[in-house]
Structure 1
Amino acid sequence: MTGLHERHLAVSPAWLALYYRQPLELTHGEGRHVWDADGNRYLDFFGGILTTMTAHALPEVTKAVTEQAGRLIHSSTLYLNRPMVELAERIATLSGIPDARVFFTTSGTEANDAALLLATAYRGSNQILAMRNSYHGRSFSAVSITGNKGWSPTTLSPLQTLYVHGGVRSRGPYAELSDERFIKACVADLEDLLGHTREPAALIAEPVQGVGGFTAPPDGLYAAFREVLDRHGILWISDEVQTGWGRTGDHFWGWQAHAENGPPDIITFAKGIGNGMSIGGVVARADVMNCLDANSISTFGGSPVTMAAGLANLSYLLEHDLQGNARRVGGLLIERLRAVGAASEAVKEVRGRGLMIGIELVKPGTDEANPEAAAAVLEAARAGGLLLGKGGGHNTSVLRIAPPLSLTVAEAEEGAAILADALHAAI
């Protein structure tokens, strides 16, 4: 155990998890690579939990942060803030929500918390529909709508949460159905649930479940849900903290895979937009956003420095078509990984889209989750120079792969080769 690890344990909560038997201290990064305190170089396939979206030490973002910090670091929302207004204008347009309003926070947790406040106030209801296997943050309200027991430390809640089928395609009572019948069964479940409860405020859903192991329903499920929700006046909140900004390749937002009935009422975002700077936020229709009848401000949301970073990062993303790169390079990577998975009885499924890929591990010859194998592969990949994530609703048995969106073809091939060796060595 290193001295820094001992110091960490002495002052940090016991539940603040670290990866690896010998935790890493990362000291710097460049592009798609990071270095540790011992000088080892790693290909980063997790991007600080999908947060280093474009690249480590991206010069355009670094310059914007440095220049803004040299002028003014902080002001709060009590004063006009040009970078905040400029970023809000761009996000409002990109959201697809008519007459959109944007409120900035410092994290995805806080963004989801704000969305829940808006929805419950707008509808006058504290009931929330959420998806099984979901995760929306670590605040008291966000934990109370999390459908993943591994990330839900308390059953106490300010909300009454009702869980809906559909977020996981390959497990559960509808797993063996065709996509069409799967959607119909999930819609019937939603209809039945609404017949036994008072009117909920909103459905909150991740288009692709992040912590849940990069699981997703068939395209069109949330559009079908939306037809039911609209009949009841129930709002749809799309949690885009992990799926936003083109990561899925096919779409700029995850909700666009379910777009038949137009955009959600509320979108939450965070992580990648700041490329490591603390930015979260909520986009909503004006009537929903303006429904609060009490004063509110944000001390740190919309900070001039983070807004400057977000503007530079978003410009780079759009100008270099990183969504297109995620589609092209991600498509190649997932095919390579499916070939790797086909050679191992321990791989149940390789799934995902764009640069958001999950590899679910099971005990060979069974459908039983294998978190021990996931931990072993994580260690073996690190030894080979590759950093991965893990998650899943079944005891973190899914390897999560989400590199910066500027990943090259050569780096995708390199990472797939290291992962193949890690699977072979660890299982």
Structure 2
Amino acid sequence: MTDDLLGRHRSVLPDWLALYYEQPIEITHGEGRHVWDSEGNRYLDFFGGILTTMTAHALPEITKAVSEQAGRIVHSSTLYLNRPMVELAERIAKLSGIPDARVFFTTSGTEANDTALLLATTYRRSNTVLAMRNSYHGRSFSSVGITGNRGWSPTSLSPLQTLYVHGGVRTRGPFADLDDHDFVAACVDDLKDLLGHTRPPAALIAEPIQGVGGFTSPPDGLYAAFREVLHERGVLWIADEVQTGWGRTGEHFWGWQAHGRSGPPDMLTFAKGIGNGMSVGGVVARSEIMNCLDSHSISTFGGTQITMAAGLANLTYLLEHDLQGNARRVGGLLIERLRAVAAQVPAVREVRGRGLMIGIELSRPGTDEADPEAASAVLEAAREGGLLIGKGGGHNTSALRIAPPLSLNVAEAEEGAEILDRALRSIR
């Protein structure tokens, strides 16, 4: 059955639509932190549909909210008042930390970042954008144009002039050998030098932890230091929280809060986890930025009632069950367990991350040379052992990405670590 579906997939869908595994699997259903494929195999899910199943599969509180809303009305567009959309916007605006915030809902993180770029370039009357090396912000024409990861940037054409800044990757690049204080200082000096050679940019857009880039991040405080430089020049700061938001990092509700001494960003974008699988994304911005457009705009599917019902139920569950705290506790245990494993595997260059957002970078033993073949082999071995994980990284996709639902318990974390232990040792 799967082989037939694979053939049908290949006959009607694009060749560039990536599939995991030498023998791709069809996931048919899930419960909690587990999913099943069409052959009846059960897997512990450590990737959550690319960090999207944030709380759990088939969570009763969410399925009930979606079912009840579907029985009333599914969709009406933004041309009409929408109570669930207003209620979710009120909660997100308050949680964002941005003063006098306005919220615009989209259907994806790509669309959210595209909207943020529209707002920033309009507000600042500039099409120059600063982005981080190794970054990823989506697959639309404008967001691809600011993506600093070669593997996810299929064209150099763009409506924007993009300038790439140092700092998103701590352990590679010209400043890697510096301590954290000097690393931040060098990146700030580089930013100042860059700004001295270009027309005033609209904004800096940055992921607090780079997602597709392999869960890399700078030292805490880098973006706060950047913000001080940018603020003096009127340049906006956009925090791309599509993967880091909603408490996934454990220590903070938003990734920007690790860099928060200069206050919240001017805008933040979100998506993925808030819908727990439903298509929800959005932008939060200060009112004068959000309201800068001088033409009409709507969103046909952004903020539709059924996705807002899911988002409300999901956010309520997340907060009432302190899943941020769970990510901190269980994620901390999982990271330490994986670091202990990595110490015995020469191919592991680094275990990094926060909370339940963990990266394992692989390289050829004794070198810093990326080893994408080893990453693919571990991905396959983990699946054979009953564990689903992801891949990423800016150096030929040589990092494993681990991001389970935030309700992961200690026993499941230990089970996943044991499977990863065997998978990693299999490549020695």
Range class of TM-score, shorter chain: over 0.9
Which residue does the alignment assign to 2:145?
Answer: 144
Which residue does the alignment assign to 1:325?
Answer: 326
Inter-partner Cα distance in structure 1 for 2:128 and 2:277: 33
Please give the residue correspondences for 1:349-368 in structure 2 after superposition, counting only pairs within 5 Å: 349-368=350-369
Inter-partner Cα distance in structure 1 for 2:382 and 2:226: 40
Aligned residues: 427
Which residue does the alignment assign to 1:19?
Answer: 20
Query: Could you report, residue by residue, the CA deviation over 1:394-415 in whole angstroms, capped at 9, with x for unpaired residues?
Result: 0110000000000000000000
Which residue does the alignment assign to 1:389?
Answer: 390
The one-letter code sitting in structure 2 at the alignment partner of 1:345 is: P
1:424 Cα offset (Å): 1.2
Inter-partner Cα distance in structure 2 for 1:418 and 1:159: 44
Which residue does the alignment assign to 1:287?
Answer: 288
SS of structure 2 residue aligned to 1:403: coil
Which residue does the alignment assign to 2:379?
Answer: 378
Give the TM-score normalised by structure 2: 0.99
Inter-partner Cα distance in structure 1 for 2:411 and 2:64: 28
Inter-partner Cα distance in structure 1 for 2:426 and 2:196: 52
- Tell me, yes or no, if structure 1 residue 254 matches structure 2 residue 252: no
Query: Could you report, residue by residue, the CA deviation over 1:268-306 in whole angstroms, capped at 9, with x for unpaired residues?
Result: 000000000000000000000000000000000000000
The one-letter code sitting in structure 2 at the alignment partner of 1:420 is: D
Please give the residue correspondences for 1:43-54 in structure 2 after superposition, counting only pairs within 5 Å: 43-54=44-55
- Tell me, yes or no, if structure 1 residue 180 matches structure 2 residue 163: no
The one-letter code sitting in structure 1 at the alignment partner of 2:286 is: R
The one-letter code sitting in structure 2 at the alignment partner of 1:220 is: G
Which residue does the alignment assign to 2:78?
Answer: 77
Which residue does the alignment assign to 1:112?
Answer: 113
The one-letter code sitting in structure 2 at the alignment partner of 1:176 is: D
The one-letter code sitting in structure 1 at the alignment partner of 2:161 is: Q
Inter-partner Cα distance in structure 2 for 1:254 and 1:44: 23
1:365 Cα offset (Å): 1.2
Query: Could you report, residue by residue, the CA deviation over 1:204-236 in whole angstroms, capped at 9, with x for unpaired residues?
Result: 000000000000000000000011000100000
Please give the residue correspondences for 1:128-207 in structure 2 after superposition, counting only pairs within 5 Å: 128-207=129-208
The one-letter code sitting in structure 2 at the alignment partner of 1:418 is: I
Query: Could you report, residue by residue, the CA deviation over 1:127-147 in whole angstroms, capped at 9, with x for unpaired residues?
Result: 000000000000000000000
SS of structure 2 residue aligned to 1:236: strand
Inter-partner Cα distance in structure 2 for 1:251 and 1:27: 33
Q: Percent identity?
A: 81
Which residue does the alignment assign to 2:90?
Answer: 89
1:366 Cα offset (Å): 1.0
SS of structure 2 residue aligned to 1:413: helix
Structure 1 residue runs of 4 or more that deviate by more than 3 Å after TM superposition: none
1:426 Cα offset (Å): 3.0
Inter-partner Cα distance in structure 1 for 2:427 and 2:380: 8
Inter-partner Cα distance in structure 2 for 1:112 and 1:387: 28
The one-letter code sitting in structure 2 at the alignment partner of 1:391 is: G
Query: Could you report, residue by residue, the CA deviation over 1:374-425 in whole angstroms, capped at 9, with x for unpaired residues?
Result: 0000000000000000000001100000000000000000000000001112
CA contact (8 A) 1:380 1:426 kept: no
1:195 Cα offset (Å): 0.3
Inter-partner Cα distance in structure 2 for 1:57 and 1:369: 37
Inter-partner Cα distance in structure 1 for 2:135 and 2:50: 16
- Tell me, yes or no, if structure 1 residue 421 matches structure 2 residue 410: no
Inter-partner Cα distance in structure 2 for 1:37 and 1:426: 28
Inter-partner Cα distance in structure 2 for 1:363 and 1:101: 48
Where structure 1 has 5 or more consecutive residues not aligned to the other structure, the ranges are none
Inter-partner Cα distance in structure 1 for 2:69 and 2:237: 36
SS of structure 1 residue aligned to 2:317: helix
The one-letter code sitting in structure 1 at the alignment partner of 2:280 is: I
Which residue does the alignment assign to 1:234?
Answer: 235
SS of structure 2 residue aligned to 1:268: strand
Please give the residue correspondences for 1:279-318 in structure 2 after superposition, counting only pairs within 5 Å: 279-318=280-319
Give the TM-score normalised by structure 1: 1.00
- Tell me, yes or no, if structure 1 residue 42 matches structure 2 residue 43: yes
Which residue does the alignment assign to 1:369?
Answer: 370
SS of structure 2 residue aligned to 1:338: helix
